[in-house]
Copies of this chain bind each other. A is one copy, B any other.
Amino acid sequence: MLPSGFKFSGVACGIKASGKKDIALITSDVPAVAAGVYTQNVVRAASIDWNRQITPTDHLSAIVVNSGNANACTGEEGFRNNQQMAFQTAGAVECTSGQVCIMSTGVIGHQLPMDCVSKGIVQASRELGAGSQDFESASEAILTTDKGTKTAFRSFEFEGETIRLAGMAKGAGMIGPNMATMLGIVVTDASLTPPVAQDILKRVADQSFNCISVEGHTSTNDSLVLMANGQSPAPMKHWKAIQAFTENLTELCVELATQIPADGEGASHLISIKVSGAENDQDADTICRSVAMSNLVKTAIAGADPNWGRITSAAGLTSVTFKPEHLCLAINGCSIFEKGQPLAFDEKQLSQSMSDEFETLIEIRIGSGPGEASHWTSDLNEAYVKFNSLYTT
């Protein structure tokens, strides 16, 4: 079951030449609390600046998403088009433009075809519905090169009342022609205040969407918005309720986030990297990212090749210092390097397990500190390169 008091729709308005759905609309029956986290890229889409002014808020009415065009690097005209989307959506769902969040995803540097977009918004407002098929339809309309929709759901009870969360995301995975643009939307009927919603969302994003990568190229459009309309009667004043909500939101966002590197033409492995024993979590995270960003690690895993020197050297190349004689490494549970010494291991057997399993688990220990971190990324194979060599032209 979906959270109470939300409606969804997804329509095709002609932005995508393929004729696939490209406008999604999500509305709350009552003005909702909303929080958002956005790309840190200096070069960002018009929609990012717009949303930053709006969230956190206690009266968001709608989120409108177009796919197929990022409306980024489009100058003044791009800002005007973004504004027009907000006004048209506000007109269609009867609210003010300041109650509308906007997300765009797709190719950079092209102006939006506003004729199509305007018609699409009107049509989407007419098709709004509260059923699973409506949610699914909206989830489809936010995709670009994704293989399929990415959704996740959670519910929990507090003092006898049910709170529901439903999330959708898009991410181009291994074939990230739109810069692996990531969009995430989570709706819930929980009662939250804007500062609490913003604080929870920031912390959850750091443990989920901020721990995934495809090629580490931060998009101009990355956005994650949480909408909480308070339609569940569950009381949320108690810290235990907030804690339960945060745990459920974290689980939901990790489930959504890991679908991104796992998806996409060409991605033949999801790579999970766990670093422990660092002085603090930040250091562990830095090492996780260095391993995740290494094309040499990613190509080795695509080939089911336990070429582990690429991993130990990637762990060592950051600004984080550690004693090489404390370094340990295991791949898929097989210990390979222990306290700075190479171990004898069955290369063929390990290669077979890397070939058989979709997920490759890399565990690195750099000392005995309490710091730890996780990261999920995709492997790098020929299909990725082929796809990304020819995109705009």
Chain A interface (Cβ < 8 Å from any Cβ of B): 40-44, 70, 72-76, 107-109, 176-177, 179, 215-220, 293-296, 299-300, 302-310, 312-318, 320-322, 324, 327, 337, 340-342, 347-348, 351, 380-382, 384-386, 388-393
Contacts and interface: CB of A to CB of B under 8 A. Distances in A.
A385 B380 contact: yes
Contacts of A294: 215, 217
A321 to B, nearest CB: 6
Given A176-B296, A306-B393, A316 B44 contact: yes
Nearest to A70: B309
A381 B389 contact: yes
Given A73-B337, A313-B179, A385-B380, A392 B43 contact: no
B73 A217 contact: no
Most buried by B among A317, A340, A347: A317
In the A-B complex, the 5 residue pairs with the smallest Cβ-Cβ separation, listed nearest first, are A108-B309, A303-B389, A43-B316, A299-B388, A42-B316
Nearest to A287: B42
A281 to B, nearest CB: 19
Nearest to A108: B309
A7 to B, nearest CB: 33
Nearest to A324: B43
A391 B302 CA distance: 12
7 contacts: A70-B309, A73-B342, A300-B388, A303-B390, A305-B390, A307-B391, A348-B393
Given A217-B295, A295-B217, A317-B218, A309 B385 contact: no
Contacts of A348: 393
Contacts of A313: 41, 43, 72-73, 108, 179, 217-220
Given A42-B316, A303-B391, 17 more contacts: A43-B316, A43-B317, A73-B312, A73-B342, A75-B341, A108-B308, A177-B296, A216-B293, A217-B317, A218-B317, A219-B313, A220-B309, A295-B295, A299-B388, A305-B391, A307-B392, A385-B385
A289 B36 CA distance: 30
B316 A220 contact: yes
A391 to B, nearest CB: 5
A242 to B, nearest CB: 32
Contacts of A308: 108-109
B341 A76 contact: yes
Contact of A75 (B217, B340, B380): B340
B44 A324 contact: yes
A74 B307 contact: no
Given A108-B313, A300-B391, A309-B107, A342 B74 contact: yes
A89 B107 CA distance: 59
A350 to B, nearest CB: 9
A389 B312 contact: no
A298 to B, nearest CB: 9
Most buried by B among A313, A340, A393: A313
A93 to B, nearest CB: 31
Contacts of A219: 313
A40 B320 CA distance: 11
Given A294-B217, A386-B382, A41 B317 contact: yes
A187 B237 CA distance: 74
A205 to B, nearest CB: 17
